[in-house]
Amino acid sequence: MATIICDDFERITKNRKKLEKVLKVKIANSEKEVILEGSPEDEFIATKVLDALGMGFSFSDALSIKKHELEFDILNIKDYARRGNLVKIRGRIIGKNGKTLSTLSELTKCSLELKNNEIGIIGDPERIKPAIEAVIQIIQGSKHANVYKGLEKRKEDPVLDLGLKEKKNKNL
């Protein structure tokens, strides 16, 4: 049995049946506590999904943690900030009209969400590390262009099929 403290449990209670079916856990709540009952593995994944929903991710992004075995991580801006002006740092992360967040999301192929002084990141285990490093660099004051350039250098080239593999014969 796992217990989560959640500020926005309305989203969870409205979609309780769907969440219980997909996550394979029983969900109950009392005030701000959400109680999960199921196997330990299911509870662990359900905790991550509900934390992602609490961060403000869409249901499809949050449920992709379970469906596509993605990883979810939360960074606290205060842990990486050198200076005290958190409003300015949040502004750097969001960018003009949300441009920085969307560019980071596009370059890393991860979903990013900012809530208060925390940044939630959902992505493949291989891609989440560069996303975390890029966000930390922006928090610490690196130029956006330098961060983007570093991410573009890390980008994997698509694997080309040169036709060297033998194709299986389906008629056999």
**May I ask the CATH class of domain 71-154?**
alpha beta
2-67: CATH topology: Ribosomal Protein S8; Chain: A, domain 1 (3.30.1370)
- Is-same-fold flag (2-67; 71-154)? yes
Q: What is the mean pLDDT of residues 61-77?
A: 91
> Domain residues of the chain, as ranges?
2-67, 71-154
Residue 11: what pLDDT? 76
pLDDT digits (tens, 9 = 90+) for 109-149: 999 999 989 999 999 988 899 999 999 999 998 899 999 99
Tell me whether strands 118-123 and 71-76 are parallel, antiparallel or unpaired.
antiparallel
Look up the pTM and report it.
0.80
Residue 166: what pLDDT? 66
Q: What is the mean pLDDT of residues 25-43?
A: 84
Return the amino acid letter for 171. N
| DSSP letters for 72-124 | EEEEEHHHH-SSS-HHHHHHHHH-GGGHHHHHHHHHHT-EEEEETTEEEEEE-
Q: With a cut of 70, say whether residue 49 has pLDDT above it.
A: yes
